[in-house]
Amino acid sequence: MAKYGKKAGEKVERAMRERKRGTLKSGRSGTRVTSRKQAIAIGLSEARDAGAKVPKKKGSRKSSSKKRLVIAEASMWLRKSHGASQALTGIR
């Protein structure tokens, strides 16, 4: 079974052509797109909006500041429940 539909391929192809010509612009800022990967992402996004068969986007990854916050909260929880000596050995 195909992962991408025909319409998705057409949208990506159109975005790649525009990128080569130098006419492809990003949505919000309107700056010119020169990256091949960004052009593919724009084509797939347009195909998704048009209702073409395209897999869902991957979930966004947590930023490093959020990771640090989660680790800090976990270490505080460990200190409260297990004492300070085990808190340092529990996370790493």
Q: Is the dihedral of CA 20, 23, 26, 32 positive or negative?
A: positive
The single-letter code of the amino acid at 29 is S
Taking only the tens place, the pLDDT of each residue in 53-66 is 888 877 766 667 77
Q: Please give the Cα distance from 15 to 56 (Å, whole number).
A: 19
Taking only the tens place, the pLDDT of each residue in 10-63 is 999 999 999 999 999 988 888 998 999 999 888 988 888 888 888 887 776 666
Tokens in use for 1?
């079974």
In the block, residue with structure tokens 């270490």: 75
Q: Please give the Cα distance from 47 to 8 (Å, whole number).
A: 5
Q: In the chain, what are the helix, strand and coil shares in percent, each to the nearest 5? A: 60, 0, 35
